[in-house]
Amino acid sequence: MEPLQTEEAVKTGWVTGWMVLRVKQDLPGDFVSIHAHAAEAQAAAHQRGPGHQVFHGRYHASGGEFIVD
């Protein structure tokens, strides 16, 4: 399994990967989780049900911020 984040990302606090977001009318929506692999994120979104979608991007846990690529 490949690492979810690089050494540089650890220094800055950002994690890059596949995010599950609860999508609302105004994108990007609410952050739910982040995964190393797209398939894992797809499974998590499917398990959570309608309104959950997968996007690639970065998440900063301490600030609760996320950026969709």
pLDDT tens digits, one per residue of 5-61: 555 555 578 999 999 999 987 767 899 999 999 999 999 999 999 999 999 999 998
According to the model, what pLDDT value does residue 62 have? 87
Residue 63 lies in a domain: yes
pTM of the full structure: 0.78
According to the model, what pLDDT value does residue 37 have? 97
In b/e form, how buried is each residue of 4-17, taking b as 16+ CB within 10 angstroms? ebeeebeeeebbbb
Residue 24 lies in a domain: yes
According to the model, what pLDDT value does residue 1 have? 39
Residue 27 lies in a domain: yes
Nearest to 18 by CA among 48, 56, 53: 56
Residue pair 66/22 in contact by the 8 Å Cβ criterion: no
Residue 62 lies in a domain: yes
According to the model, what pLDDT value does residue 7 have? 59
According to the model, what pLDDT value does residue 54 have? 96
**Domains contained in the chain, number:** 1
Domain that holds residue 52: 13-68
